[in-house]
Structure 1
């Protein structure tokens, strides 16, 4: 096994020329004295005792009482103040392992010649952090010359090696105060989302999207108001009821509800989100335990994540890489034991599992890790970070997230988006989370209700201790954790930077299991927390936070109503009764005009609203909501409604990374033949319902059209009959059928995706791999053009009906 680091040699210092200017970074103002005199003054040993007691048992149902001593904040701001020294540290045997420089550069290489000096004086608060190294103690106060540095041959600002490429054209301003802020935190940009949204696109999205959302929402309700008013007038005028007209209105509203929610939520784009792009610099940094959870994933997949974590731009004695293996792989254990020779901060752990004793899946695995680290040298870290087995972190991952926690003592959790590098062309199953992480989550962050994204996040161990660590009994421990943190008065942050890249399930069945598990977990958490409307667990949540949690849980349950509404559409068409009721031609013309305005305004709104994620991504998400609704509905009903003897089932869990592809449909050499793909997806995964639905709708449209043409004898009568029956704009049945046909087209013509290793750039010496730039983006395929043609056709059709309404 090759070494994990690119260069473990200590390089001799390169002396600066004399007579140059002295450089300083000023101190950030100290926290209030009342905060400095807070509660970390007792020894760490006394504070860790509740954890040490609880760690004796492999399972822990509740931590709330045993961890009350962790509810208080540290005595001084972590990055700028002193911690009391741990009684366990031996200050006489200070021996910190020097940090290797993979770029083979020292500080003199990083400082522009115009500002080089033989002394680099970095002024900040009297910062002092405990170290994981046995007997190690570090103090880095006042100024420090290179000749006295305890890091011979290594820069005390190794993190700047990753910052330097961000400013290749401006070397003379590398240390200017416009971006190097006071203290040890550098501000690279005033916005963390500059990579995804800048220039004219940002201006359009920031100011025009909310206005268009408001106009679109207003037009929706104006249109539906006219529909309801004219049905009532028609019933009075003709003296009879129009039940199918009411049903059709209900169907239209049901299909539009997700759009309503999304549009209402998008109005908060106007709320400014103050989240700059920051970096923690220097080697005086907090201690972090990085947990990598795995359970049966391929060993190569897990090892790639561990290698990348070992290659993080972070001092070895301040960071532990801990693999929590629920799959009990002896191969992983042996490999990591060998790696400890070159990377001593790597640990392998597997918890015991006893028959009949609940192990609580990922939450239980993480809690076991949090308990066990207290028995390691140096005790538990001040922060814990978590990575899924397939999530490869960028080198700057920890240094990008930690500043947001360090600058606010009430910030309990910071998380980046989940991004993926093996998404196939056109992403036919909508497996990427682009719309959620680029549109929804930033809005939630502005409202102070950012969710834990499940991987790549960093938490304060004290904040986790207050809520009893990760909540047990939930399939969505990430959502439950962030919700409980907010309920306990902590803050959460969404850092909109590309800091991790993982893999999506490689087969249809794996995708269904992943998404239904998310939905079940969200609903289960909502039930247990009373939809975040009341209860002691959420007592500190504000109105926006409670509303957000309620809306997302409601949207998961709404899939049941959406499925019923969609199924009712062909029944209404077969009944051959008018879908639109009105009492005179003037009302019909007003309905057509309102429908046209609604469709056109909504299309324009979509173009602007989908800018951060991409227009095609937004449209793909809209189709995904339709064809996934039956799967999510069935899962929720079986989990929460039906008894076992009627097909109900307990909440089952299977980690995404361990879902093996039986069809290998994305491998052009090994994919199963078409007949097997069709039979498996249509019958084993119940996509036959989707196919039957499409044919049912097409038969209903055909029958309705035939009857209208036979009954009506004039041209005007035929046109009005067609419009008020099966062809009411914007032809909703076309969009629904197109969405429901996706499972069938996927089975017939699945996308081809290269082997995972072909998507990675791997260092031949160290084995460290990161996704290739082209693999980080979802590319388009001909299917995208076909889907857009459907939207274009329905828009043109609506426009044509609008024009004809002036002549007939």
Structure 2
């Protein structure tokens, strides 16, 4: 791999990269001590960093005839490793390639893994300069911008998603967040002062109050860090809405990664990718099938009759040898496209198997890479068309893609969303292609690029729509895999605080990497804190201690101010995604925390001999068949759904927690009625025990009840085909406008009622405080 780095980079970077991409992985998803060398993509060869002279710079390609995909042989055959022949060992020099080549364009086509030279970026970007029509905005103005074919449709890429009065309210989010944080800190300080005063007066220890305030402080820490990040939204985001026009476009290899999905789901994505409003001689669609489905291969090969720029590839997987999942599949594709007669495109794009792109996807994303020579990657949000009404499991990701990612983009730290992204090949080459040994290769890839001084962009437009997991187990597996991958990446990158891999990161980029990894780890403490309220109440201790009525008045007033300020802050912050979406996300953090905490403990704390294993959540026992809980015709009966979710999917923990908490509330309340001598004493006892505003136990138990309520009354969804509009001639399908939006259902109404009642209780307690 000496050829990966230019002469000026080899000596200083080889040792660091060798240490970073550590070898020695013995089992998939178990040994994640370091990213593997990404050159072992086909399980038949493995290169490591070696000393030696850098490869000489390749000569500039000679002008040749235009690329015509239709002239190429369409049957893809994997190389024969046993004979030492095949594409991997007989790569044709670019200068000698025939007419089937990208080289007719002004874009210097590069292989996935050639020698990386520092001048490549500048040279390739100079060749792209004629594509730019005008400066997109002052922030994108460059001295090399010339007339060409990039149109600027709007000053903001998200102008059609949310606008008007919502933008004015969102403008106040940083100020509301600052005020909310300040008031909450004052409230906690007052709580501690009152506990100390009460102990000095009563000459006793209020252990329950100390435990309660300690839990409040512990839970406050991640919220405080997140608030600090949210306050950075004060920096306005000015990414415009751009479109690449005309036919003089860069060449792109579009990878559709799949592994065992239904053929029709994959084919719909392939049809959408082929239906791009983009010159067909400038892009290819390559289906990377890690499941090696013969039926999918046959269907794709049949489509190539009318789509000469479509290819099917399936890598060989040697039993017992790690294949590195999606990252390995992508790296395999990067390697193989260099061996096609046309060579590799200058840009690479990727789509998940179920993500149907809109027709202007490539023309919308590519301009953001063309206007900035250091822009490595641009990605749109992942949106979904099969999320059920109320989205009971919070599967939509709307809060992340509509609130968090735009803030990250404004600060120059946009994450790769995993699908729909377009990436510059030079940037991939500099980090050694997609890092292996990670369950979150998208986050790792964008983080490594930022660490090398590249930029990433988030294009806030609805450009792709996919499907969420349709069963409870699939959802758990997906989300716990994301959490483990994020934490694992953070460990390898030293939480983005130091190291050669993050050397060129800005403060905001380092803070972002540290924050979101820490928030995932914080599920351990959040899970432990859930037990605080029921334990204290069963312990017959009060949650709030005070020395006199004046202190109680101040505590209630401070709690009232904190609660209402928090409601205002939530409303303003959630606006881009929708208020109910934000509330779903808050509940999701609570009920998912035991699953994520369990997987983190198994992955990073427990040794192997005690059951430690780096993997996503796996159900216990054996499932006889799928629950099909969202299909009203084939779903299993209530008893089976409850048995599977409660026992196989650990829902019994949630069930037990809810009932223990409710029993604790009942016992504590009964005790208040039994020992209190009058109405005032009874009300104060209830307030300072279970019903301290904003009635936290109510929010916790309704959130933890989610798995049980889902098992009892799962949402019903129509067949996937009913959510699509399909062209009868071409077969191209896109989601209907209705399916792109999450309907307001009964569960959302119930939770809103519960949240409103908690706020009303807070207001009533505040008013009553003036009468005692």
Match of 2:164 in 1: 199
Match of 2:413 in 1: 449
Q: Distance in 1 between matches of 2:53 and 2:179?
A: 50
Residues 94/713 of structure 1: CA separation in 2 closer, same or farther (3 Å cut):
closer
Q: Distance in 2 between matches of 1:783 and 1:68?
A: 65
Matches within 5 A, 1:222-233: 222-233=186-197
What is the TM-score with the length of structure 2 in the denominator? 0.83
Q: Does the CA-based 8 Å contact 2:480-2:617 persist in structure 1? A: no
Matches within 5 A, 1:55-204: 58=43, 86-87=61-62, 90-91=64-65, 134=100, 138=104, 182-204=147-169
Look up the SS of the partner of 2:669 in the other structure.
helix
Q: Does the CA-based 8 Å contact 1:450-1:493 persist in structure 2? A: yes
Q: Does the CA-based 8 Å contact 2:542-2:689 persist in structure 1? A: yes
Deviation at 1:506? Answer: 0.2
Deviation at 1:660? Answer: 12
Deviation at 1:71? Answer: 13
Deviation at 1:131? Answer: 11
RMSD: 2.8
Q: Distance in 2 between matches of 1:199 and 1:66?
A: 59
Query: Deviations 1:89-116 (Å, cap 9, x if unpaired)?
Result: 644x886879xxxxxxxxxxxxxxxxxx
Aligned residues: 673
Look up the SS of the partner of 2:770 in the other structure.
coil
Q: Distance in 2 between matches of 1:603 and 1:283?
A: 50
Identify which of 308, 312, 325 aligns with 2:289: 325
Q: Does the CA-based 8 Å contact 2:484-2:616 persist in structure 1? A: no
Match of 2:759 in 1: 795
Match of 2:322 in 1: 358
Query: Deviations 1:742-788 (Å, cap 9, x if unpaired)?
Result: 11111111001111111111110111111111111111111111111
Query: Deviations 1:368-412 (Å, cap 9, x if unpaired)?
Result: 111111100121110101100000011111111111111111000
Look up the SS of the partner of 2:738 in the other structure.
helix
Q: Distance in 1 between matches of 2:46 and 2:532?
A: 45
Q: Distance in 1 between matches of 2:758 and 2:663?
A: 20
Q: Does the CA-based 8 Å contact 1:681-1:687 persist in structure 2? A: yes
Identify which of 267, 273, 282 aligns with 2:237: 273
Q: Does the CA-based 8 Å contact 1:64-1:468 persist in structure 2? A: no
Match of 2:686 in 1: 722
Q: Distance in 1 between matches of 2:362 and 2:52?
A: 26
Q: Does the CA-based 8 Å contact 1:97-1:316 persist in structure 2? A: no
* 2:512 equivalent to 1:552: no
Query: Deviations 1:419-440 (Å, cap 9, x if unpaired)?
Result: 0000001100000000000000
Query: Deviations 1:615-668 (Å, cap 9, x if unpaired)?
Result: 0000111011000000100011111111233232232599xxxx9980011001
Deviation at 1:69? Answer: 7.7
Q: Distance in 2 between matches of 1:65 and 1:499?
A: 42
Q: Distance in 2 between matches of 1:301 and 1:802?
A: 55
Look up the SS of the partner of 1:773 in the other structure.
coil
Match of 1:292 in 2: 256
Deviation at 1:241? Answer: 2.0
Look up the SS of the partner of 2:349 in the other structure.
strand
Q: Does the CA-based 8 Å contact 1:532-1:538 persist in structure 2? A: yes
Q: Distance in 1 between matches of 2:520 and 2:230?
A: 19
Q: Distance in 2 between matches of 1:720 and 1:372?
A: 72
Match of 1:427 in 2: 391
Query: Deviations 1:151-192 (Å, cap 9, x if unpaired)?
Result: xxxxxxxx9xxxxxxxxxxxxxxxxxxxx9942100010000
Q: Does the CA-based 8 Å contact 1:760-1:771 persist in structure 2? A: yes
Q: Distance in 2 between matches of 1:713 and 1:621?
A: 43
Look up the SS of the partner of 2:542 in the other structure.
coil
Residues 770/660 of structure 1: CA separation in 2 closer, same or farther (3 Å cut):
farther
Matches within 5 A, 1:217-616: 217-616=181-580
Unpaired segments of 5 or more residues in structure 1?
Answer: 1-38, 40-52, 75-83, 99-129, 142-158, 160-179
Higher-Rg member (1/2): 1
Match of 1:108 in 2: none
Q: Distance in 2 between matches of 1:733 and 1:70?
A: 65
Residues 704/743 of structure 1: CA separation in 2 closer, same or farther (3 Å cut):
same
Match of 1:13 in 2: none
Q: Distance in 2 between matches of 1:70 and 1:347?
A: 31
Unpaired segments of 5 or more residues in structure 2?
Answer: 1-7, 9-37, 72-95, 108-130, 132-144
Q: Does the CA-based 8 Å contact 1:280-1:403 persist in structure 2? A: yes
Match of 1:710 in 2: 674
Q: Distance in 2 between matches of 1:220 and 1:397?
A: 44
Q: Distance in 2 between matches of 1:653 and 1:299?
A: 26
